[in-house]
Amino acid sequence: MVAIRLGTRGSALALAQTQVIQTLLERSHSGIVCTARVIKSHGDTDRRTPLHLLGTTGVFTQALEKALLEGAIDAAVHSAKDLPSTLPGGFVLAAVLKRGDPRDCLLTRQGFTLDQLPRGATVGTGSPRRRTQLSRLRPDLSLQEIRGNVDTRRFAALSGTVDAVVLAMAGLARLGLLDEHVVPLPVEVCLPQAGQAALALEVLESNEDVIEILRALDDEPCRMCLEAERAVLEELSAGCQAPVAAHCTMLHDGALQLRAYVAQPKGAGLTSELVGDGCNPRALGIEVASQLRKGGAEAALQAFRAASSPG
């Protein structure tokens, strides 16, 4: 019998995602028993400060990496969108699971679409990426900072604290909360965050036995798409809370289609889209980032960082 200790955040969504992985692992290998251990992260203990003001990268991952280093867990379960664009030395992603629905969605008490929201409606979201894309389409909306787990944000909309909230479709699906209050936002309206809807298992590079076990859960197309998306962030030195979106899909012929977006303080934002060889997803991400940089992405991100600096 082999015991695998999975480290996870303590939210209902994180635990549900860990349960999915636990079930898949135990089904894929006879004799494996998985246990979950909750690790509190900086992003979980500070629930008031907007994420982009916490002043650090990896607000949801550093505590889990510390637990890996200390031998308290064997693998860390992450929402891939929470990962910094580069992992610290000595860590690897042993598996990237098949992606769920990558779209964002609007959640309202009435089940409104974005167009149906009344003029001046209040929309809760803590994501600069979501705010900038929605405000471009509906500049009349009042976009309000909101933090908390899925249930907290969902309740804010259903109780009337705000008129709507923006959430990830995949998270609601994993919690069984897709209902009449939820309307998906097409990727053409709100391009997803890099890694959205993908789950990733991080381990110590030296732990070859665990890597071999986890490899059974790896979905190669999703891993390739994630690599392209994360290369955009890395090349732009953009953390997971920057107003940057990147979404990659695999086409029928195995090529990769990558779209990316960088918000600007004024104007419609910068976009880039390329189709590239599926054998080199990182190169595709670097090329898309290069196009965005030529359009002024670095200046746009510098302006965002200046406006978001604590104090």
Listing from the earlier edge strand, what are the strands of the sheet with 104-108? 142-144, 122-124, 164-168, 104-108, 182-185
- Asked if residues 111 and 182 have their Cβ atoms less than 8 Å apart, the reply is yes
Strand-pair category, 142-144 with 122-124: parallel
DSSP secondary-structure letter at 187? T
Question: What is the C-alpha to C-alpha distance for residues 305 and 285, in angstroms, rounded to an integer?
Answer: 22
Q: How big is the chain, counted in residues?
A: 311
DSSP for 72-129? S-SEEEEEGGGS-SSPPTTEEEEEEPPP----EEEEESS---TTTSPTT-EEE---HH
C-beta atoms surrounding 94 within 10 Å? 24
DSSP secondary-structure letter at 52? G
Mean pLDDT, the chain, integer: 92
The residue from 74, 82, 104, 163 that is catalytic is 82
Q: Specify the pTM.
A: 0.91
Strand-pair category, 104-108 with 164-168: antiparallel
**pLDDT (tens digit, 9 = 90+) per residue, 206-230?**
999 999 999 999 999 999 999 999 9
- Locate 276 and state its tokens: 């590239």
Active site residue 46: no
**pLDDT (tens digit, 9 = 90+) per residue, 23-43?**
999 998 888 999 999 998 755
**Could you tell me which residues come within 8 angstroms of residue 268 by beta carbon, excluding any fewer than 6 positions away?**
136
Question: What is the C-alpha to C-alpha distance for residues 198 and 97, in angstroms, rounded to an integer?
Answer: 6
Q: Which domains does the chain have, with CATH numbers?
A: 1-97+198-218 (3.40.190.10), 104-185 (3.40.190.10), 219-311 (3.30.160.40)
Residue 52, pLDDT above cutoff 80: no
**Could you tell me which residues come within 8 angstroms of residue 240 by beta carbon, excluding any fewer than 6 positions away?**
57, 81, 82, 83, 84, 85, 193, 194, 195, 233
DSSP secondary-structure letter at 177? -
Residue 114, pLDDT above cutoff 60: yes
Alpha helices in 119-201 (DSSP H): 128-137, 150-158, 169-174
Question: What is the C-alpha to C-alpha distance for residues 301 and 307, in angstroms, rounded to an integer?
Answer: 10
Listing from the earlier edge strand, what are the strands of the sheet with 270-276? 244-250, 256-262, 270-276
The single-letter code of the amino acid at 210 is: V
pLDDT class of 147 with cuts at 50, 70, 90: confident
**pLDDT (tens digit, 9 = 90+) per residue, 240-289?**
778 999 999 999 999 999 999 999 887 778 999 999 989 999 999 999 99
C-beta atoms surrounding 227 within 10 Å? 19
Q: What percent of the chain has pLDDT over 90?
A: 83
